[in-house]
Amino acid sequence: MTGTGPTPDRDRPDQDRPDRDRLAAAQAGLLAALLAGAPAPVGFDPDRVRVQRNALIAKRRDLVARWWPELVGPGFALAFTDYARRTPPPAGGLRADAERFAAELDGVRADRIPAARRDPTRRRPAWRSRRSTAE
């Protein structure tokens, strides 16, 4: 086959434009619902979106707790869940998320976490501080 037939994308590029725009809007709405707490977009089950949002918040919480275990203490899960519901994940990733959360805790739990332990520049990530007993 030589490929001499018409190709839909090249011959009629604007034909699918409305469908693509609708899909893009639905995807943006879903991301806003999952990450920023916006209402579920039309066509998505609000209960399923809520369940998935909660799962993503739990994943963020677990990652921050692993990366910066000094932040974990009484009330950590509730405090982080509250923070995550109000704050979408930052562009800087896990470290930026942990630092932003720690900064928010600074006034709330400053008496419980010494400043040196809240400073990520003065500690090694948990994954680097673990050593095998076989070494």
pLDDT digits (tens, 9 = 90+) for 103-125: 888 765 545 454 544 455 555 55
Tokens standing for residue 110: 């400053």
Mean pLDDT rounded to a whole number for the chain: 79
d(CA 29, CA 25): 6
In a domain, 118, yes or no: yes
pLDDT bracket for residue 32 (50, 70, 90):
very high
DSSP 8-state class, residue 88: P
In a domain, 2, yes or no: no
State pTM to two decimals. 0.67
In a domain, 57, yes or no: yes
Q: What is the tally of structural domains in the chain? A: 1
In a domain, 3, yes or no: no
* Percent of the chain surpassing pLDDT 70: 68
pLDDT value of position 82: 93
In a domain, 135, yes or no: no
d(CA 14, CA 86): 39
Span 42-48, mean pLDDT? Answer: 94
In a domain, 23, yes or no: yes
Give the position of tokens 């918040």: 57
Q: What is the pLDDT of residues 77-89, one digit of tens each?
A: 999 999 999 999 9
**Containing domain of residue 104, as a range?**
18-129
pLDDT value of position 107: 61
In a domain, 1, yes or no: no
In a domain, 13, yes or no: no
pLDDT value of position 104: 86
